[in-house]
A = this chain, B = another copy of it.
Amino acid sequence: MTQTIAVLPGDGIGPEIIAQAVRVLDVFKQRGLDVDYQFAPLGGAAYDEYGAPYPEFTQNICRKADAVLLGAVGGPQYDNIERALRPERGLLAIRKDLNLFANLRPAILYPELANASTLKPEVVAGLNILIVRELTGDIYFAEPRGIGQLADGTREGVNTMRYHESEIRRIGHIAFQAAQKRNKKLCSVDKANVLETTELWKQIMIEISADYPEVELSHMYVDNAAMQLVKAPKQFDVMVTGNIFGDILSDEASMLTGSIGMLPSASLNETGKGMYEPSHGSAPDIAGQDKANPLATILSAAMMLRYSFNQDAFADEIEQAVQTVLKQGLRTADIYEEGCTLVGCTAMGDAVVAAL
């Protein structure tokens, strides 16, 4: 039965990088991968067309699809529109709507790009961390929230951090299972010395660790984790944490590699349906100039084949093709260094397709 991929190019460089990822997927369609694409706008592009960042049109397509491939959303032209209509609200809305509670963000340093890191080579060589971030709970979504006026006319801002044990448990299982397939080390990040919500988080992680005796569970405060990522990032295998801490730490971890243009991500629901997108943003400054790096999006397509379509062999092939083009010395501007060949977005896509 043909499976459907909802393709959401989004804003900025989104359409360009998505175009290259689709070309890569097309190679596998020719080899028998039975998928169809359905294109829909998200974020600013959706606001422009439908007046909302996650309009019904897009909802219908994404809900029916077997997987979602997303470019990136956001741009300065949307900065001053009403909060509820801004591009990132579309992103938050689709995560919640599709129940994509498990965000997997690898931070991998490709040997060919070792120089791109601002950290010393001995500190980051071989870096391969997987951050598992809870994506549909926490202070991102809980009520009460808002800016309110007090009796004396002054203002106060309120947000609520909240986790139910079932939310913690399901992301915990995902993280333990990921650790099981990797180096069997899981670090759960909390602020249990201050925040009761994360004390519960820690307790639940300890509870479910009984199901995974081979995995070594450790705990770290979020402030210390932010330090340790700088001091000795290779101590980590898999890290699991809540939505807001995960937002911060996964970006920090990505940047350790110096090449966020290379990092894919997956956001999964209970049944393995997922949304796949590069870890980087929509880079409005270089949009439409054929300068963007499509590799993170291409690698996101590989993650899609692995997690949503169980096509590990195809995913491996894509990952190897990316390694090949790096070895050939091809570089987009964001990862360029002397002695390499500077290429644009399309040419990079050409090279990956050729390597397949």
> Which residues of A are interface residues toward B (Cβ below 8 A)?
83, 86, 88, 92, 118-120, 123, 139-140, 142, 145-147, 150, 154-166, 191, 193-201, 222-224, 226-232, 244-245, 247-252, 254-256, 258, 260
Which single residue of chain B is at the shortest CB-CB distance from A231?
Answer: B255
Known pairs A222-B247, A254-B227; A196 contacts B158 (CB<8 A)? yes
A142–B224 CA distance with the chains assembled, in angstroms: 23
Which single residue of chain B is at the shortest CB-CB distance from A197?
Answer: B157
Asked if residues B201 and A223 are in contact (CB atoms below 8 Å), the reply is no
A-B interface, 5 closest residue pairs, ranked by CB to CB distance from nearest: A157-B197, A157-B200, A226-B252, A227-B255, A223-B251
The 8 Å CB contact of A230, one of B83, B86, B228, B256, is B256
Asked if residues B119 and A200 are in contact (CB atoms below 8 Å), the reply is no
What are 7 contact pairs spanning A and B, CB under 8 A? A120-B120, A139-B139, A142-B158, A147-B200, A156-B200, A157-B201, A159-B160
Asked if residues A196 and B226 are in contact (CB atoms below 8 Å), the reply is no
Which single residue of chain B is at the shortest CB-CB distance from A232?
Answer: B118
CB neighbours of A118 from chain B (8 A): 119-120, 123, 230-232
A38–B147 CA distance with the chains assembled, in angstroms: 44
Known pairs A118-B231, A161-B158; A222 contacts B248 (CB<8 A)? yes
Which single residue of chain B is at the shortest CB-CB distance from A121?
Answer: B120
Which single residue of chain B is at the shortest CB-CB distance from A74?
Answer: B193
Q: How many copies does the complex hold?
A: 2
Minimum Cβ distance to chain B for residue A52 (Å): 17
CB neighbours of A164 from chain B (8 A): 150, 154-156
Asked if residues B159 and A161 are in contact (CB atoms below 8 Å), the reply is yes
A251–B160 CA distance with the chains assembled, in angstroms: 24
Asked if residues A92 and B156 are in contact (CB atoms below 8 Å), the reply is no
A92–B232 CA distance with the chains assembled, in angstroms: 28
A244–B193 CA distance with the chains assembled, in angstroms: 12
Minimum Cβ distance to chain B for residue A174 (Å): 19
Known pairs A154-B165, A158-B162; A247 contacts B231 (CB<8 A)? no
Which single residue of chain B is at the shortest CB-CB distance from A155?
Answer: B165
Which single residue of chain B is at the shortest CB-CB distance from A222?
Answer: B248
Known pairs A147-B196, A156-B164, A165-B154; A248 contacts B226 (CB<8 A)? yes
CB neighbours of A119 from chain B (8 A): 118-120, 230
A165–B147 CA distance with the chains assembled, in angstroms: 10
A157–B230 CA distance with the chains assembled, in angstroms: 30
Which single residue of chain B is at the shortest CB-CB distance from A195?
Answer: B159
A271–B267 CA distance with the chains assembled, in angstroms: 49
A119–B258 CA distance with the chains assembled, in angstroms: 12
Asked if residues A251 and B231 are in contact (CB atoms below 8 Å), the reply is no
Asked if residues A196 and B145 are in contact (CB atoms below 8 Å), the reply is yes
The 8 Å CB contact of A252, one of B86, B142, B193, B252, is B252
A164–B158 CA distance with the chains assembled, in angstroms: 9
Minimum Cβ distance to chain B for residue A95 (Å): 12
Minimum Cβ distance to chain B for residue A304 (Å): 24
Most buried by B among A194, A201, A245, A247: A194
